[in-house]
Amino acid sequence: MPLALRFELDREHRLLFINFEGPHIGAGQTITDIEQAVSSADERVAVVVNYDNFSIVPGLLDEYPAMVTRLTQRFYSRVTRYGTGGFLKARLDGRPAS
């Protein structure tokens, strides 16, 4: 699924759905593209992210959460994350992975 189709903004409810089910993040450019896509929002929104079967190369495990932190501070009023992989979700929530 192309990146542009993974974002759905419900302006009426100020809710952004992000479907990251299945992609593999293997390049820093993809992280940049994600940040640019979300940065086009013109208001703070609640965000729901599906991380089922999401994967990322180990070399980007610092860059990706840093990008999420920037987006959270600028655009997200709250974030709900769903998925089967607890490691990344815990890291994005700022909790130590178990």
Q: What is the CATH number of the domain that holds 46?
A: 3.30.750.24
Report yes or no: 76 and 44 within 8 Å, Cβ to Cβ.
yes
Domain assignment present for residue 97? The answer is no
pLDDT of residue 96: 46
Residue 15 lies in a domain: yes
Domain membership of residue 24 as a residue range: 3-92
The reply to whether 64 falls in a domain is yes
Counting every residue written for the chain, the total comes to: 98
Assigned domain for 73 exists: yes
Q: Confirm whether 50 is domain-assigned.
A: yes
Span 55-97, pLDDT tens digits: 899 999 999 999 999 999 999 999 988 877 655 655 566 554 4
Q: What is the arrangement of strands in the sheet containing 15-19, beginning at the earlier edge strand?
A: 7-10, 15-19, 45-50, 76-82
The pLDDT tens digits for 25-65 are 999 999 999 999 888 777 899 999 999 888 899 999 999 99
Question: Looking at the 3D structure of the chain, how many domains does it have?
Answer: 1
On whether residue 98 sits in a domain, the answer given is no
CB 80 within 8 A of CB 72: no
Domain assignment of residue 55, yes or no: yes
What does pTM read for this prediction? 0.81
